[in-house]
Amino acid sequence: MLNIRLYMAQRLSAMVMAPLVLGHIAVMIYAVQGGLSTAEILGRTQGSVWWFLFYGSFVLAVSVHAAIGLRVILHEMTGLRGRWLEVFTCGIGVLLLIMGARAVLAVTFA
C-alpha cells in the first residue's frame, strides 16, 4: 500500500529524524549528567527559536513517518484499504502532529 510518494515521504522523514534523535539523546545525557532541574531546562528552552525549530521539525518528521509506517502495518494485518485507510493515515498524522506540537509549544513558549 505504498506508492513512490509515500515511500519517499517515509524515507526522507527518517533522514530528518536520524540526526535529531542523536541530538535529543545527547541533550538528555547532558541534562542528566549536569543535574539540570526542570526549571533550568525550561529556562533554556522557553523563548528559544532554535529549540522550537529542533523539536518542531522532529515532531513534523515523526508525524509523517509514523503515520505511513502504521498505515502499512494496518493494511497488511487487517486488509483495510481504500478511503478508510487514507482516513487512518491522515488521522494518525494529524493526531501525532497535534500532540507533538502541544509538547513543543509547552517547552519553547514562555
Partner 1 sequence: MSDRSKLLEVSVWRGTGDEGAYETFQVPARDNQTVLDVVSWIQQSADPSLTYRYACRVGMCGSCAMMVNGVPRWTCRTHVKRVLRDGALQVGPLRNLPVIKDLAADMDPFFDKWIRAGGVHRPSRSRNDPIQQVPPDDPGRVEANKGIECINCSVCYAACDTVAGNPDYLGPAALQRAWTLYNDAKVEDRQAVLDSVSGAGGCHNCHSQGSCTRFCPNELDPLSAIAGLKRASARSFFRRGE
Supply the minimum distance, in Å, between the C-beta of residue 98 and partner 1. 28
Whichever of 6 and 107 has its CB closer to partner 1, that residue is 6
Task: Answer for the pair 73, 10: CB distance below 8 angstroms, yes or no.
Answer: no
In angstroms, the CA 85 to CA 45 distance is 37
Q: 86: helix, coil or strand?
A: helix
Residue numbers of the site for partner 1 (CB under 8 A)? 1-8, 11, 72, 75-77
Whichever of 4 and 110 has its CB closer to partner 1, that residue is 4
Whichever of 40 and 76 has its CB closer to partner 1, that residue is 76
Q: Is the dihedral of CA 5, 87, 73, 22 positive or negative?
A: positive
Supply the minimum distance, in Å, between the C-beta of residue 51 and partner 1. 31
